[in-house]
Amino acid sequence: MSVITAARPPRRSLAQDLLVLMDERIRTGHYALGGRMPTESELMLEHGVSRTVVRETLSRLQQAGLVITRHGIGSFVTEELPRDTGFNISPAEIETILDVLHLLELRASLETETAGLAAARRTDAQVAQMYQALKEFEESARGDVDTVDADFKFHLAIAEATQNPHFYSLMRHLGTTVIPRARLNSPKIVMEDKLAYLERVNREHREICDAIARGDTESARAAMRLHLINSRERLRRAAEADAAAASATK
């Protein structure tokens, strides 16, 4: 019996326990900086957990800036650990739908103004980066590949285009935690048509990007605000559908 399955505190998920253990191993040097992480199969065998648990844990480590995943190659510890800046929103803290909704409220206040400033100050090269992120998002969606990295790249490019390093640093610190799908990527949250959902998200991205490219500050703010309101509403509807499905099985 593994340490994870034998000593799991009550009311804590297997993924949460594995996350705490892996975080500790990375920070104490058990896994070397820049080194390859064990494979999913190795982690499953060592800790007696499912592939779903392992993938959720690796996703959270990625969101915390501790691990990077190279598709087709494997997962690696980052070359440098994130600095402790005092203020922190840990992936381990974002567990419930309410947690994600709180995060979306923070994003609405931050990113609405970020989009307006980006429209006023962006360079052509930065606009090109945004459109490239949209292309990567679309390709990932159609290839049934995780779109979270491309999504975050788009929002990070907007923060960079403000020419204010503090917006960029804060977005970098938050990481992919700011993307709701990264926090609730679970069969409990059901999307009726994943591709259609992702296409709607990217259409909203394009409206933001087009406004920034035109230098239209008010339209950029409005498009970003609408995007985040829609994200909140999509999450609420998915949660209600999940609750209804759970009630029907009782």
How far CA 110 is from CA of 17, 106, 173, 210, 241, in Å, comes to: 32, 6, 13, 20, 29
- What share of the chain has pLDDT > 70, as a percent? 78
Same domain, 40 and 121: no
Residue 227: strand pairing partners:
none
| 83 assigned to some structural domain | no
Helix 51-63 crosses helix 40-47 at what angle (to 10 degrees)?
A: 110
Please write the tens of the pLDDT for every residue from 133-172.
Answer: 999 999 998 988 888 889 989 999 999 999 998 898 888 7
- 94, 100 contact by CB (below 8 A): yes
Residues 49 and 155 in one domain: no
Type and span of the H or E element at 76? strand 74-77
pLDDT digits (tens, 9 = 90+) for 169-200: 888 777 766 666 544 444 444 455 778 888 99
Residues 8 and 70 in one domain: yes
Dist. CA 224–CA 145, nearest whole Å:
24
Please check whether residues 109 and 222 belong to one and the same domain.
Answer: yes
For 234, other C-beta atoms within 10 Å of its C-beta total 17
pLDDT (0 to 100) of residue 95: 65
Supply the pLDDT for residue 186: 44
Q: Is there a single domain that holds both residue 195 and residue 225?
A: yes
Q: Assign residue 168 a region: left if phi > 0, alpha if psi is -120 to 50, beta otherwise?
A: alpha
Query: Distance between CA 69 and CA 231 in Å, rounded?
Result: 26
Has residue 112 been placed in a domain?
A: yes
Write the CA distances from 89 to 50, 84, 175, 192, integer angstroms: 27, 11, 10, 30
* Weakly modelled stretches of the chain, pLDDT under 70: 1-12, 83-95, 176-192, 242-243, 245-246, 249-250
Q: What is the CATH number of the domain that holds 56?
A: 1.10.10.10
Is residue 87 assigned to a domain?
A: no
The domain in which residue 105 lies consists of 93-248
Dig out the tokens for 62 from the structure: 């990625």
Do 46 and 152 sit in the same domain of this protein?
A: no
Q: Are residues 128 and 24 in the same domain?
A: no
| pLDDT at residue 3, rounded to an integer | 46
Is residue 54 domain-shared with residue 158, that is, in the same domain? Answer: no
The structural domain count of the chain equals: 2
pLDDT at 188: 44
For residue 71, being part of any structural domain is answered with yes
Instruction: Based on the fold, state whether residues 55 and 97 are members of the same structural domain.
Output: no
